[in-house]
Structure 1
Amino acid sequence: MEMKSISLKDSTITYIDKGAGKPIVLLHGFCGSSKYWSEVIPVLSENFRVIAPDLPGHGGSTMAQENNTISDLADIIKELTDKLNVGQVTMFGHSLGGYITLAFAEKYSDSLNGFSLVHSTAFPDSEEAKKGRTTNMEKVKQEGIKPLIDGLVPKLFSPDHLEESYVETAKEIGYQTPPQGAIQTLHAMKERPDRNYVLESSSIPVLLIAGEQDQIIPAEKTFSVSKANIKQTIIKDSGHMSMYEKPADLIEAIKGFVK
């Protein structure tokens, strides 16, 4: 798929922009890129305009500031959608992308038709998870990006799927993450606040998607708020990466939500 590039105030963002119709924004997870959506975009773009950026500090996108917060990353996504003149969008955030989506919904709800957390959570890091972020920041500083990716990626998938070729694909995408981008993003994730109140206070449509076999964010962490405007969907036989493990099921959930 053709990658485009756009210069923003503090960063350069590379992105995919494919199809026409209602605009959908897809935000990938930590140490991923827009390539995470390669099975999903061709199908969705038959009905919708799909915009999938490489998040700042990932893929081909730069991250200028040293101490970006998740809220700062949401500001960059807002600047991108403004530059692309898309008006209101429906935003789907996978994992890290979900943290950014929540921050976006907190600040720019008028720019959203609806939003979705895909294998993500509104909860902040636990103290144990924060220690893990710090350990991983030091690991990348000392050893580079490869050992982090080799340790991380197998945990993203259901144990039943570890022999699948897409596990290696996810590793190859991860190896392309600039080390400094990974370090800065680990810090941003570690410091993010509890945003359950965003789900509680939002009146626009929300879709929460969890993987039945997700070892990173279990369903109860995704399904933290129950309200009339919030739909909960479990993807069977999937870990943290339904865009690889069960792409047809994820596409069906996205299409149904947007329509």
Structure 2
Amino acid sequence: MKTTNSNIAYIEEGQGEVLLFIHGFCGSSEYWNEVIHELSTDYRVIAIDLPGHGESKNHDGVLDIDQYASVLKSFLEELKIEKVTMFGHSLGGYITLAFAESYSQYLNGFSLIHSTGFPDSEEAKKGRTASAGKIDKDGIDPFIDGLVPKLFAPENVETHRQSLTKVKKIGYETSPEGAKDALNAMKVRKDRTEVLANTKLPVLLIAGESDQLIPADKTFTASGENFKHVVIKGAGHMSMYEAPEKLSSAILSYLNQA
């Protein structure tokens, strides 16, 4: 059962320190269902639907990653939450890093899951523009049908058919405007590798062994005593579906050490 606050729909379970989960492009809070089940025994776990995704409204258009971060800040203020540990998947990781840059006072720590501090390459920017054109021309459903198999490790596309179907169903719920807003925000996002390198907060960086979108070297761009690096074996870009036990275990290990 989802709750809506200021046009942001979210799932909340458990009590204790707050963990905030931010899904990726054309996803929703439902991405985290299995992880929430594992973590809510010891933590208050909140997973949101980003603007234009899942059951959340469009917020009259989100122009850049910083605006998504601002939406998160307002969301936390409305719930009177002063501190969270934030976990961002892919697009959610870009937003998490922007949040860490502007609103670090709200964070106990943060995690990038299959994400990076790097901006889009010129080729990737062209791909974002082309994707927006496909959504305009054909609608969201055919776009999602083409996108989702690329998110999984090649060897998992057949063996995780049920998960692919779930992820597609979630993707179909994304509004075309919400998807295009997110594409543009990703396209124009700035380089935040220095933000990652300079943070003093405890950071968990997670990469999928077979991630076709963001390889490990794009994720592990910073290291130090406050950083924990984890490669999820047997996973592509969707470890919450491909290897949820391994993902939950990595998160719990990080939280216990932070």
Q: CA deviation at 1:227?
A: 2.1
The alpha-carbon deviation at position 67 of structure 1 amounts to 4.7
- Whichever residue aligns with residue 104 of structure 1, its letter is F
Q: Equivalent residue for 1:5?
A: 4
Q: Residue type of the partner of 1:212?
A: E
Letter in structure 2 aligned against 1:207? L
Contact 2:61 2:178 in 1 (8 A): no
Q: Is residue 254 of structure 2 the alignment partner of residue 257 of structure 1?
A: yes
Long gaps (5+) in structure 2: none
Would you say 1:244 and 2:241 are equivalent positions?
A: yes
Deviations 1:185-242 (A, max 9, x none): 1000000000001111100101100000000100000001122211111000100000
- Give SS of 1:214's match: coil
Shift, 1:38, TM fit: 1.2
Equivalent in the alignment of 1:204? 201
2:113 pairs with 99, 118, 137, which one?
A: 118
What SS is found at the alignment partner of 1:228? coil
Distance 1:34 1:105 in 2: 20
> Aligned-pair distance for 1:42?
1.2
Q: Judging changes above 3 Å, is the alpha-carbon distance between structure 1 residues 97 and 67 closer, same or farther for their aligned structure 2 residues?
A: closer
Corresponding position: 1:109 with 2:110 = no
Alignment of 1:177-216 (within 5 A): 177-216=174-213
Unaligned runs of 5+ residues in structure 1 are none
Return the alpha-carbon distance in structure 1 between the equivalents of residues 190 and 120 of structure 2. Answer: 8
Query: How many Å apart are 1:83 and its aligned residue?
Result: 1.1
Deviations 1:113-165 (A, max 9, x none): 00000000000000000000000011111111012111110000011111211
Q: Does 1:149 align with 2:144?
A: yes
Residue 39 (structure 1) aligns with: 34
Which aligned runs of 4 or more in structure 1 are off by greater than 6 angstroms?
Answer: none
- Give the Cα separation in 2 of the matches to 1:45 and 1:218: 30
Cross-structure match for 2:169: 172
* Structure 2: distance between partners of 1:202 and 1:219: 20
TM-score, normalising length: structure 2: 0.97
Equivalent runs, 1:45-84 vs 2, <5 Å: 45-84=40-79
Q: Who is 1:14 aligned against?
A: 9
Q: Match of 2:216, as an amino acid?
A: A
Q: Out of 224, 229, 236, which is 1:227 matched to? A: 224
- Distance in 2, matches of 1:204 and 1:40, equals 22
The C-alpha deviation readout for 1:66-101, integer Å capped at 9, x for no partner, is 352100000001111111122110000000000000
Q: Contact 2:197/2:221 (CA < 8 Å) preserved in 1?
A: no
What is the deviation of 1:64? Answer: 2.2
Distance in 2 (CA, whole Å) between partners of 1:28 and 1:64 is 17
AA aligned to 1:3 is K
Cα distance in 2 between the residues matched to 1:199 and 1:228: 13
Measure, in 2, the Cα distance between the counterparts of 1:158 and 1:37.
18
TM-score by length of 1: 0.96
Q: In structure 2, what is the Cα distance between the partners aligned to 1:208 and 1:22?
A: 20
State the percentage of identical aligned residues.
55
SS of 1:200's equivalent? helix
What amino acid maps onto 1:110 in structure 2?
Answer: Q
